[in-house]
Homo-oligomer: A and B are copies of this chain.
Amino acid sequence: MIKFELIHTDKKTGARAGILHTSRGKVETPAFMPVGTQGTVKTITPEELKGMGCQMILSNAYHLALRPGAELISKAGGLHKFMHWDKPILTDSGGYQVFSLANLRKVEEEGVQFRSHIDGELHSFTPESVIKLQEDYLGSDIMMPLDECADYPCSHSVALSAMERTYKWLKRSVKARKGETSGLFAIIQGSVYKDLRKQCIDMMIELDVDGYALGGLSVGEEKSATYEIVSHCCRYLPKDKTRYLMGVGKPEDLVESVEQGIDIFDCSLPTREGRTGKSFISSGEITIRNSKFKEDFGPLDPECDCYVCKNYTRSYLRHLLNTKEILAPRLNSFHNLYFYISLMKKMRESIIKDSFLDFKEEFMRKYAQSLIEGGL
């Protein structure tokens, strides 16, 4: 049973503070979901995630269906038990992965056929099978329906056709779900075409879903285009349901999108960049491998109070990266996730106090420092 409770909307912007109620507990929004594609948020334990204030994670039905397989997870007692995480999990349907990772796909009205990117084995997904996978086998708290992701860039007619199919598949998904324990979100498609996005929303709000996701963004388009579509969609989305911007983004993108009225986000950047040694800190992005940090015995982010910033130096983190020590991706991922989650908390507080714009200005001023200084 999914319910979105709108607590407060910032007086000067569209930014919202809310609570997403799920059968596995509350998620205070705006919220960031760390990505646990394969049933683990890379390098980090569930206890550490909880300790940094993480309320919900994202996992991926496509990846889990391939490895270790849906039946195994079902036998293990569901995804939560399998991966030792008892808070909410939103699972992506795998639509995006089928279109971006898999080979030899065949898209038909019925569904999509594809070959695994791992071993080439033939698989097929239908809207119904993907709901069954998430509802019965994984036990997701929020399911995403199968959608058709048009390439970017694409013509208006290609975007229209993908949007229409996504809508038809959503109708079948709504019909396919058995109960209300696992919530179901709609995915708004339509590429960068505003009329299609509006049309998609108009059609989908007629269906019985628990929230709305913006799909097909951050796929190569200009940032200004992303922001415009986000702003455009937020104008038409119902206020009493959760709004989820899929796969976005950098800290500044989260701030911009929260301003428009987005509630939840997922993105692999904090862990992916963390593994290669890029960190997000109060003054912007920092590449810790840079030789100028060799003898920098200060913390990664002087304004951060996370475990890493309290106990380690830039010099040490750089040494770990240079010597290819696994502690490096672990500590960097930890800090980055903490930074993202803390950012969401601070935004929420400022929304409740009607001071989101002040927060944004202060954050952006500091965060742009790395750009002004020509990169940290």
Residues of chain A having any CB pair with chain B under 8 Å: 38-40, 42-45, 67-68, 72, 75-77, 82-84, 275, 294-295, 297, 311-313, 315-316, 318-320, 322-323, 325-327, 329-330
Query: Which B-chain residue is minimally distant from A297 (CB atoms)?
Result: B76
Contacts of A294 in B (CB 8 A): 68, 72
Instruction: For the complex, give the distance between the alpha carbons of A325 and B316 in Å.
Output: 24
Can you identify 26 A-B contacts, CB atoms within 8 angstroms? Answer: A38-B319, A38-B323, A38-B325, A40-B325, A40-B327, A42-B325, A42-B327, A43-B326, A43-B327, A43-B330, A44-B327, A45-B327, A67-B323, A68-B315, A68-B319, A72-B294, A72-B315, A75-B295, A76-B316, A82-B313, A82-B319, A83-B316, A84-B312, A84-B316, A326-B330, A330-B330
Asked whether B84 lies within 8 Å of A326 as measured between CB atoms, the reply is no
Asked whether B322 lies within 8 Å of A76 as measured between CB atoms, the reply is no
Query: Which B-chain residue is minimally distant from A63 (CB atoms)?
Result: B323
Q: How many copies does the complex hold?
A: 2
Instruction: For the complex, give the distance between the alpha carbons of A275 and B329 in Å.
Output: 15
Asked whether B319 lies within 8 Å of A39 as measured between CB atoms, the reply is yes
Instruction: For the complex, give the distance between the alpha carbons of A340 and B326 in Å.
Output: 21
Instruction: For the complex, give the distance between the alpha carbons of A327 and B72 in Å.
Output: 19
Q: Nearest chain B CB to A139's CB is how many angstroms away?
A: 15
Contacts of A297 in B (CB 8 A): 75-77
Asked whether B40 lies within 8 Å of A322 as measured between CB atoms, the reply is no
Instruction: For the complex, give the distance between the alpha carbons of A281 and B75 in Å.
Output: 25
Name A's interface SS: loop
Known: A76-B297, A294-B72. A82 touches B326 (CB 8 A): no
Asked whether A319 lies within 8 Å of B75 as measured between CB atoms, the reply is no
Contacts of A67 in B (CB 8 A): 319, 322-323
Contacts of A42 in B (CB 8 A): 325-327
Instruction: For the complex, give the distance between the alpha carbons of A311 and B44 in Å.
Output: 14
* 14 extra interface residue pairs, beta carbon distance < 8 Å, beyond A76-B315, A326-B330: A38-B319, A38-B320, A43-B327, A67-B319, A67-B322, A68-B322, A75-B297, A76-B316, A77-B297, A82-B315, A275-B326, A326-B326, A326-B329, A330-B330
Q: Nearest chain B CB to A310's CB is how many angstroms away?
A: 10
Contacts of A40 in B (CB 8 A): 320, 325, 327
Query: Which B-chain residue is minimally distant from A318 (CB atoms)?
Result: B68
The interface centre, meaning the residue of A275, A311, A315, A319 with most chain B CB atoms within 10 A of its CB, is: A319
Contacts of A327 in B (CB 8 A): 40, 42-45
Contacts of A330 in B (CB 8 A): 43, 326, 330
Q: Select one of B75, B311, B313 contacting A76, CB under 8 A.
A: B313
Instruction: For the complex, give the distance between the alpha carbons of A329 and B326 in Å.
Output: 9
Query: Which B-chain residue is minimally distant from A77 (CB atoms)?
Result: B297
Contacts of A329 in B (CB 8 A): 326
Instruction: For the complex, give the distance between the alpha carbons of A327 and B84 in Å.
Output: 13
Instruction: For the complex, give the distance between the alpha carbons of A322 and B77 in Å.
Output: 20
Instruction: For the complex, give the distance between the alpha carbons of A49 and B330 in Å.
Output: 16
Contacts of A68 in B (CB 8 A): 294, 315, 318-319, 322
Query: Which B-chain residue is minimally distant from A39 (CB atoms)?
Result: B319
Instruction: For the complex, give the distance between the alpha carbons of A233 and B375 in Å.
Output: 59
